[in-house]
């Protein structure tokens, strides 16, 4: 299968002939100046290593205390999953499911699927369900809200910091690390790059 020689801008449908691109260059649509994609140094290696670290940090963020709240000796400690679980207990099922999906489930699914796709490609093996995984990952990406969740947590902390002593748990730092690495992974394995790999896997 020959490589793609031209693409169409997703915002204005302008035909773009793909130029020879160096590392760390971004292709911008000449007509509407929207960003198409950026090339990275050794994208496959970095995607796998960042993705794997990010997944490990996410698992760690789920296994330690997230925050503690101390009012006159009465301490309440929560884990990450309680942010959605306590909403569920209070019968706010819709909200609980949304928080769970956007903060934990989709990032977990995204990273696992990406690794299932990329690791066989790295070692030159046949990758199963490559096309389905590629499409699923594309659907997941806009709904992952790790960075929004972190800002939400910070604002919640500012709201209660006068009322009690707050102890920040290990899981909080793990989640921040996860969010940073996740953003890097998702940027490096962008749509253009991802489908180039899938093409190679099918060959």
Q: Which residues bind another protein (CB under 8 A)?
A: 4, 6-8, 10-15, 31-34, 67, 69, 71, 74, 76, 78, 82-87, 90, 92, 94-95, 98-99, 102-103, 131, 134-135, 138, 142-143, 145, 148-149, 151-153, 155-156, 158-160, 163, 191-192, 195, 198-199
- How does DSSP classify residue 105? I
Q: Residue 75 is inside which H or E element, if any?
A: strand 74-79
- Residue 197 Cα distances to 121, 129, 175, angstroms: 7, 13, 29
The residue (of 52 and 98) whose beta carbon lies closer to another protein is 98
Q: What are phi and psi of 168, to 5 degrees?
A: -85, 125
Q: How far is the CB of 97 from another protein (least distance, A)?
A: 10
Q: How far is the CB of 23 from another protein (least distance, A)?
A: 21
- What does the H/E/C string look like for 126-170? CCCCHHHHHHHHHHHHHHCCHHHHHHHHHHHHHHHCCCCEEEECH
The residue (of 94 and 123) whose beta carbon lies closer to another protein is 94
Q: How far is the CB of 192 from another protein (least distance, A)?
A: 7
The residue (of 44 and 157) whose beta carbon lies closer to another protein is 157
Q: Nearest CA to 157 among 167, 148, 170, 147?
A: 167
Q: How far is the CB of 197 from another protein (least distance, A)?
A: 11
């Amino acid at each position: 299968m020959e490589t793609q020689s031209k693409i169409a801008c997703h915002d204005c449908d302008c035909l773009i002939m793909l130029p020879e691109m160096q590392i760390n260059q971004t292709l911008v649509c000449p007509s509407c100046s929207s960003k198409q994609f950026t090339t990275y140094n050794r994208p496959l290696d970095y995607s796998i290593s960042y993705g794997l670290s990010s997944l490990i940090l996410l698992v760690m963020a789920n296994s330690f205390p997230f925050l503690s709240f101390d009012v006159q000796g009465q301490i309440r400690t929560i884990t990450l999953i309680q942010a959605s679980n306590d909403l569920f207990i209070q019968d706010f099922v819709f909200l609980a499911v949304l928080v769970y999906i956007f903060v934990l489930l989709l990032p977990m699914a995204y990273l696992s699927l990406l690794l299932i796709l990329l690791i066989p490609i790295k070692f030159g093996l046949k990758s199963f369900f490559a096309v389905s995984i590629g499409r699923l990952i594309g659907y997941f990406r806009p709904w992952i809200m790790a960075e929004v969740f972190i800002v939400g947590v910070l604002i919640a902390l500012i709201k209660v910091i006068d009322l009690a002593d707050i102890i920040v748990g290990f899981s909080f730092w793990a989640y921040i690390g996860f969010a940073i690495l996740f953003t890097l992974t998702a940027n490096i394995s962008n749509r253009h790059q991802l489908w180039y790999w899938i093409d190679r896997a099918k060959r």
